[in-house]
Amino acid sequence: MALTIYSTLTNSKQEFIPQEAGKISMYVCGMTVYDYCHLGHARVLVAFDVITKYLRSSGFDVNYVRNITDIDDKIINRANENGEKFNALTERFIGHMHEDEKALGVARPDMEPRATNHIGDIIAMTEVLIEKGYAYACDNGDVYYRVAKFEGYGKLSNKNPDELLAGARIETGDIKEDPRDFALWKSAKADDVSWPSPWGPGRPGWHIECSAMTKCCVGDTFDIHGGGPDLPFPHHENEIAQSEAANDKEFARYWMHAGAVRVDGEKMSKSLGNFFTIREILDKYHREVVRYVLVRSHYRSAINYSEENLKTAKVELDRLYTGLRGYDDVEVLALDQLPQGNRYVKAFTEAMDDDFNTALAISVLFESVRELNSATANKAADASEQAQILKSLGSVLGLLAENVEDYMQAGLSDAGLSADAIEALIAERIQSKKDKNFQRADEIRDELKEQGVVLEDGAGGTTWRRD
């Protein structure tokens, strides 16, 4: 089965054929860094991390680029509120973003361009657009893109330019030729953050930043452009208009957008009090449980975040980890190194080749763990190989990377009994059994259960996990 990708540009699944055989260039719109990353950011981070992991594990050479917007109205306003320089603010939150992605098991991109490092490229592209008649400079130093000039405007978001004009508001004193036109360069006001340009001091508009960075990092035409659910219009639509007008070439060949995150069925919003940062969630739940919630749904579907879903995810992930007890030492292999005739490898690959269907891929993991449990119970000769397949398939999704007991025993640093206290009570319970003091042994089990610790007695002794 060939790899197919649902492209937002065509609203259909297409067979994926990279420009260059065996190599993939992918650019994903990243964060605007003025605050902590939230759950919606986590969705995009994890979705494209899984996509990258799968492509690489399948043998592709992937150049994954994710940009940083480090100059923006929100950044300037927040820095002014804090009484600090804008770049001190952005540097701090870039550091926090890297901490959050590491905590979620998200690998860093190959390139992470920042808008402020590409001011010269932005100015150069703006000059080309002016020269070609796709942009115009105003007397006040602003530069705008001439939307009516670009024939294909609206092809990504399926918006009719005439309808956009009818719905556009014309502001008093607006210097634009057309209400639909958008800023490529914004003239500086007094004490604004600014850079010199042919039109006077100013700073770039948001959309032109990505057009300049894609050109530098992945070329005029590249394979995959990705981002969050709110980006097709206007951001990605404007990127297409800028880049294709400036470069006279097709921009991105496939467009991928992650689904939205809802909280208890409602849109995540600070005003509703249901807005969660990544670090707030990771203070309550193990990182793989959070990641599991994000990958068990197809990347294009909306995710409903709730306490109940997180608890269910913990139970399901526990089942996979329980099957791997005793197999911590098995080597994790890339997908293309696993036995291709194995039915689980084949089913997993087919699921992921179908537009990265992680929901179906996870169901394959549960089929695999059922067979592993049977093989372990019967001491089958191929049990270790089955464990290796399960763990290797899980790693493509960024799951099953922990030592089993470390995962099972993981809990909040300030929650319940410490691991040493639990081990001491288990030792006391073992001794109580030896002394035939079964009442005390039962009391210890009950005490631990009340503290959220589950004991599991087996042939190899007693193990425990946090519930």
User: Annotated binding residues for Zn(2+), as ranges?
Assistant: 29, 210, 235, 239
CB atoms closer than 10 angstroms to residue 436: 8
Q: Known binding site: residues?
A: 29, 210, 235, 239, 270
CA 378 to chain centre: 40
What's the rounded Cα separation, in Å, for the pair 164 and 179?
Answer: 9
Alpha helices in 277-418 (DSSP H): 278-282, 287-295, 307-323, 343-353, 358-377, 383-396, 404-409
Tokens encoding 40: 């919606």
CB of 64 closer than 8 Å to CB of 223: no
Radius of gyration of the chain (CA): 26
Q: Known binding site for ATP: residues?
A: 270
Length of the chain: 467
User: How many Cα atoms occupy the beta-carbon half-sphere of 164 within 13 Å?
Assistant: 18
Task: Please identify which residue in the block is written with the tokens 């139970």.
Answer: 315
DSSP letter assigned to residue 197: -
Smallest CA-to-CA distance from 326 within 384, 399, 408 is with 384
CB of 243 closer than 8 Å to CB of 220: yes
CA distances 369 to 91, 297, 391, 397, Å, are: 44, 20, 10, 16
CA distances 12 to 9, 76, 221, 355, 456, Å, are: 8, 39, 20, 10, 49
Q: Please report which helix (H) or strand (E) contains residue 3, including its range.
A: none
What's the rounded Cα separation, in Å, for the pair 266 and 281?
Answer: 17
Identity at 106, one-letter amino acid code: V
Q: Is 225 helix (H, G, I), strand (E, B) or coil?
A: strand
Q: Please report which helix (H) or strand (E) contains residue 203, including its range.
A: strand 202-204
CA angle 167–168–170, rounded 5-degree value: 135
What's the rounded Cα separation, in Å, for the pair 210 and 28?
Answer: 10
What's the rounded Cα separation, in Å, for the pair 406 and 242?
Answer: 50
